[in-house]
Amino acid sequence: MSGTSLLVPALIIGFVYIPYVAKPLRGQVLSLREREFVDAARVLGIGDARIIASEILPNLASTLIVFFPLMMANAILLEAGLSYLGAGVQPPNPSWGTMIGDGIALLPSSIHMTLVPGAMLVLAVLGIVVFGDGLRDALDPRAVARPAR
């Protein structure tokens, strides 16, 4: 594995976010397995694999759809931070973190070399978070419908 490999930051990000994704999903699965529709499927003689595929996973879909944009935004920030510190994506591969780090060396004379990648990082993460929040509002069945003002 070379030093400029994209696999290293991908593995670090994947390892860091396993608990953040697994804990809420595990809690929801443990809650779903006690529900009546799972008991009804067991009484009908349906096997465990089919119960997971036909009963549990469809009920986890909305959680996964909402969770994905938020984890993506956090992963982008973590990758930029790792690249800024030199542990992430290495040049010549582009990364907002390396661009910000390179711009800091030129800070007195070329402030735009730091501000533009930083602003794009903020806009990308903010856009993903707002999209995820809107998706959560759209998919949450317990949300109270608010009239538009």
Over the chain (149 residues), what is each successive 10-residue block's mean pLDDT? 68 86 91 92 92 90 85 92 86 88 88 93 95 83 63
- The burial class, CB within 10 Å (0-12 / 13-18 / 19+), for 144 is exposed
Q: Whole-model pTM?
A: 0.76
Query: What is the per-residue pLDDT for 148?
Result: 62
Query: What is the per-residue pLDDT for 105?
Result: 87
Cα separation values, 130 from 57, 103, 107, 123, 127, Å: 25, 28, 31, 10, 5
d(CA 125, CA 137): 18
Query: What is the per-residue pLDDT for 72?
Result: 92
Query: What is the per-residue pLDDT for 21?
Result: 87
**63 near 25, Cβ under 8 Å?**
yes
Residue 140 token pair: 């949450």
Residue 107 has φ and ψ, to the nearest 5°, of: -55, -45
Q: What type of residue sits at position 54?
A: S
Query: What is the per-residue pLDDT for 124?
Result: 96
